[in-house]
């Protein structure tokens, strides 16, 4: 297994005879972006001067991009490239310009020094061009020159502005050896050399070259990538500093990679162990080797932003804080699973040892291992580039067992990433693993392998790389490190859809602030047009839809919503389209949650309804349709609760149409019925064609939805429907129907008069009895009936059940209008969001 460069304090050598930290001695390390040019050097100098450190040790990296430029320069020279001298000149000029700008009238000594150094570099590069191949020692010498130049510039600037400063070339002090576990410091020799140097250079401020050192033979060497950070920790230890401040271009250690999780947040504090775990899996944090001297001395490391020096950054120490069980999540890409499987492995001692010995001999680094207690298989995660080497090594090591079928196979699965959740607070906290696995399941991410150490501070899961970004974002939101993000698309921006989008726009800031929920409106589709967006903003959706050049294409609409980096997708269908409802099974099967006030799915063909239910059950995606029956009223939810808790439904009675409720609540015989229909149409209570309400089909559909919810496989054709539209007007054009509305008046006047003479009222009622018989129609009800005194567009439903037999359960409230219907749809969105982990 790839060794961690950091372990417990007792496992690492520490500076010999280390005295207590010097009071007021603070070490600082600045990265390349912090010293990118003359202005940045000035900024760093002012930052250092503004501090009251008694003794100040500052380790600097090369100017941004210089180390890579030096490596490319050496490689080009060794390859005989004709342009290496031009590259050398450009690099020299960059440092000369920085020195002149930074030092002004005091620049000449430094310019002379730079000229000499770059002349020596040119001679070395010429030698490399003759040799044709850069020896390791020469390449290391060239790589470390950027830090040497950088330290000289900062030290000269501090001296030029009157500060008591000295520049220390680490190659004069630091002695290291390269071993199997990386770079080891010769602490006694280095401390002795530093003591001699300090005897001659007692300046209060010391600027030190990072990255470079000498080996035991006195040859110049480097500390490897991240070596400047390691230099900072080494010199903090050598100077017995109280703290090490590592200055970068971020506000500290982040909870996740901000390129994948833009909502990643800076962490206030980490323990050494947490920082090591995060760094091992690739987080932008201090390299584990950097923490070696810090761990052995209990030296706090602060990760700070040199561009925002007032920000406290992240403090890394022996003990972090208890801010949640999981501090951060990391993603390690470009991996592969190697699985050794066979019944002959069960109970055989030494199998794991043979696996790891074979991989060690093949120089394959193991990132993660997983083995079940059955011992039937051992799974290793390795770098994808080493997967074939690992497979061959295991096939050779187990050749005999493969031949006699004791081991069945050595399998390789490519395109794997490892997601790691890290935090000291995970130890002893029940349910952390469950939350991680549940979060990934909700995001439809399949886990290929799992590993958790006994310390419980790291849970690692291997997932397909195609799902990796989605897994990271889902887990980050699942532990409330960032908002739960949902990719939202709305179809049908008519009255209800428009009201929903306006409600969503008003609620977005509050939901993100209070419920940690980020509802991103990424697409809107009308009958003819479609608008798509990556940012998810809801403002100006009308104008953007109107200006969009895209025709409505529900395939493209769906593909856009299913972004790989967003864990959850919700489609809201506010249309009345049967064609859109046809897509529900496929959407649900793909893990897309569907929310709708469209009754076509719930009351449409039974085969499609069964397919919708089956797809939702298999994928785990939610199908929510509360607004199909009672607009914003909890009718479906109430019925579902009754059934789920074991109650037995006897019957359902109700007034399910807010339009028809308003008409018959308002109709008193004095005002013609046609006038009321026209008024309801003008108020927006009816469909564009009022016959859609008056026909009773809409009410019948709602009754079918409730019947199916109660477990009865009812079809629309099974409902006895009384239409209020005369036969002669049913096929007429909509405009003609509105012109001939007065033809309804006599019939309704007569029915109203008969009911009134008997002390009754007219109401349009839906009923499902105990035997499953369903009907909707206009009935006469006693004046004291629960349906007789409704207000305006109120809907009302009576559930008669085994529990509620003497006194039926009543759900009543406004059942018409775009606003209340949209609110019902919005409530379903929030229910789905809560099921996905949002705090609503």
**Residues catalogued as catalytic:** 702
How far apart are the C-alpha atoms of 348 and 357, rounded to whole Å?
16
Strand partners, 245: 28, 302
How far apart are the C-alpha atoms of 391 and 195, rounded to whole Å?
52
Q: Quick count: other Cβ atoms within 10 Å of Cβ 710?
A: 19
The string of DSSP letters for 156-211 reads: HHHHHTT--EEEE-GGGT-BEEEETTEEEE-HHHHHHHHHHHHHH---SEEEEE-S
How far apart are the C-alpha atoms of 181 and 595, rounded to whole Å?
56
How far apart are the C-alpha atoms of 14 and 185, rounded to whole Å?
9
Q: Quick count: other Cβ atoms within 10 Å of Cβ 189?
A: 16
Place of tokens 């810090």: 294
The string of DSSP letters for 703-717 reads: HHHHHHHTT----GG
Provide the residue count of the chain: 840
Which tokens in the block code for residue 44?
A: 């760093």
The torsion of the CA quartet 433, 832, 446, 582, rounded to 10 degrees, works out to: 170
CB 257 within 8 A of CB 272: no
Residue (of 37, 124, 7, 42) closest to 77 by Cα position: 124
| CA distances from residue 786 to 98, 713, 758, 808, 813 in whole angstroms, order as listed | 87, 28, 17, 11, 13
The torsion of the CA quartet 763, 765, 769, 773, rounded to 10 degrees, works out to: 120
How far apart are the C-alpha atoms of 477 and 834, rounded to whole Å?
12
Burial of 406 (0-12, 13-18, 19+ CB in 10 A): middle
Q: Which is it for the CA torsion 539, 540, 546, 548, positive or negative?
A: negative
How far apart are the C-alpha atoms of 257 and 278, rounded to whole Å?
11
Which tokens in the block code for residue 482?
A: 């960032």
Place of tokens 């798509």: 532
Strands 176-179, 182-185: pairing is: antiparallel
Strand partners, 205: 56, 165
How far apart are the C-alpha atoms of 831 and 813, rounded to whole Å?
20
Strand order in the sheet with 377-383: 366-371, 377-383, 328-341, 409-422, 458-464, 447-452
Residue 341, helix vs strand vs coil: strand
Residue 212, helix vs strand vs coil: strand
CB 46 within 8 A of CB 15: no
How far apart are the C-alpha atoms of 504 and 102, rounded to whole Å?
54
Q: Give the contacts of 72 (CB within 8 A, at least 6 positions apart).
A: 87
Q: Give the contacts of 753 (CB within 8 A, at least 6 positions apart).
A: 669
Burial of 782 (0-12, 13-18, 19+ CB in 10 A): exposed
Rounded-to-5 percentages of helix, strand, coil across the chain? 45, 20, 35
């Amino acid at each position: 297994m790839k060794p961690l460069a950091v372990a417990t304090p007792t496992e690492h050598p520490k500076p010999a005879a280390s005295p207590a930290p010097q009071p007021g001695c603070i070490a600082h390390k600045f990265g390349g972006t912090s010293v990118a040019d003359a202005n940045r050097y000035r900024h760093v100098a002012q930052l250092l001067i503004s501090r009251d450190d008694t003794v100040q040790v500052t380790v600097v990296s090369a100017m941004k991009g210089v180390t890579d430029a030096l490596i490319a320069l050496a490689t080009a020279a060794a390859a005989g490239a004709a342009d290496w001298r031009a590259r050398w000149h450009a690099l020299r000029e960059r440092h000369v310009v920085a020195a002149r700008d930074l030092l002004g009238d005091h620049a000449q000594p430094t310019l002379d020094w730079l000229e000499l150094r770059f002349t020596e570099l040119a001679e070395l590069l010429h030698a490399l061009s003759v040799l044709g191949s850069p020896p390791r020692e020469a390449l290391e010498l060239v790589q470390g020159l950027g830090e040497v130049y950088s330290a000289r510039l900062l030290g000269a600037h501090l001296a030029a502005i009157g500060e008591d400063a000295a520049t220390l070339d680490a190659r004069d002090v630091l002695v290291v050896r390269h071993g199997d576990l990386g770079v080891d410091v010769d602490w006694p020799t280095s401390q002795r050399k530093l003591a001699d140097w300090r005897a001659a250079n007692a300046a209060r401020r010391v600027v030190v070259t990072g990255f470079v050192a000498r080996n035991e033979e006195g040859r110049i060497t480097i500390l490897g990538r991240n070596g400047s950070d390691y230099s900072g920790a080494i010199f903090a230890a050598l100077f017995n500093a109280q703290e090490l401040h590592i200055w970068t271009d971020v506000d500290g250690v982040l909870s996740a990679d901000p390129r994948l999780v833009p909502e990643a947040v800076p962490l206030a504090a980490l323990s050494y162990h947490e920082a090591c775990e995060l760094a091992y899996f690739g987080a932008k944090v201090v390299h584990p080797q950097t923490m070696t001297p810090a761990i052995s001395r209990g030296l706090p490391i602060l990760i700070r932003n040199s561009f925002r020096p007032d920000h406290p950054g992240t403090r890394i120490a022996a003990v972090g804080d208890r801010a949640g069980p999981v501090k951060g999540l990391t993603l390690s890409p470009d991996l592969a699973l190697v699985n050794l499987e066979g019944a002959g492995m069960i109970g055989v001692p030494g199998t794991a040892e043979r696996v790891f010995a074979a991989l060690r001999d093949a120089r394959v680094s193991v990132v993660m291992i997983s083995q079940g207690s059955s011992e039937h298989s051992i799974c290793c995660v390795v770098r994808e580039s080493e997967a074939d080497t690992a497979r061959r090594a295991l096939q050779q090591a187990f050749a005999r067992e493969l031949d006699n079928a004791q081991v069945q196979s050595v399998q390789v699965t490519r395109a794997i990433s490892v997601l790691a959740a890290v935090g000291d607070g995970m130890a002893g906290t029940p349910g952390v693993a469950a939350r991680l696995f549940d979060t990934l399941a909700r995001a439809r991410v399949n886990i290929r392998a799992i590993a958790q150490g006994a310390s419980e501070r790291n849970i690692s899961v291997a997932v397909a790389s195609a799902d990796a970004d989605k897994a990271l974002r889902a887990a980050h939101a699942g532990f409330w490190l960032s908002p739960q993000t949902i990719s939202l698309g709305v179809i049908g921006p008519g009255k209800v859809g428009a009201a929903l989008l306006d409600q969503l726009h008003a609620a977005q800031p509050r939901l993100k602030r209070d419920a940690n929920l980020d509802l991103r409106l990424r697409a809107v589709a009308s009958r003819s047009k479609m608008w798509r967006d990556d940012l998810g903003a809801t403002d100006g959706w009308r104008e953007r839809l109107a200006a969009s050049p895209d025709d409505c294409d529900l395939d493209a609409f769906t593909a856009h919503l299913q972004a790989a980096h967003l864990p959850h997708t919700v489609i809201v269908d506010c249309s009345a389209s049967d064609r859109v409802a046809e897509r529900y099974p496929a959407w649900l099967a793909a893990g897309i949650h569907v929310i709708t006030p469209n009754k076509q799915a719930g009351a449409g063909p039974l085969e499609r309804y069964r397919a919708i239910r089956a797809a939702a059950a298999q994928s785990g995606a939610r199908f929510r349709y509360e607004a199909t029956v009672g607009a914003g009223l909890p009718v479906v939810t109430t019925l579902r609760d009754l059934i789920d808790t074991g109650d037995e439904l006897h019957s359902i009675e109700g007034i399910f149409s807010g339009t028809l409720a308003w008409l018959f609540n308002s109709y008193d015989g004095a005002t013609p019925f046609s006038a009321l229909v026209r008024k309801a149409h003008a108020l927006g209570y009816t469909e564009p064609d009022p016959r859609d309400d008056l026909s009773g089909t809409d009410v019948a559909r709602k009754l079918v939805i409730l019947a199916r919810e109660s477990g009865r496989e009812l079809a629309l054709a099974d409902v006895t429907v009384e239409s209020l539209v005369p036969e002669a007007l049913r096929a007429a054009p909509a405009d003609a129907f509105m012109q001939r509305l007065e033809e309804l008046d006599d019939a309704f006047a007569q029915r109203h008069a008969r009911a009134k003479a008997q002390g009754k009222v007219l109401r349009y009622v839906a009923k499902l009895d105990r035997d499953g018989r369903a009907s909707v129609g206009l009935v006469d009800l006693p004046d004291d009936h629960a349906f007789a005194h409704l207000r305006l567009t109120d809907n009302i439903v009576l559930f008669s059940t085994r529990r509620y037999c003497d006194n039926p359960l009543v759900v009543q409230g406004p059942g018409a209008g775009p606003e209340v219907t949209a609110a019902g749809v919005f409530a379903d969105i929030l229910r789905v969001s809560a099921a996905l982990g949002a705090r609503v």
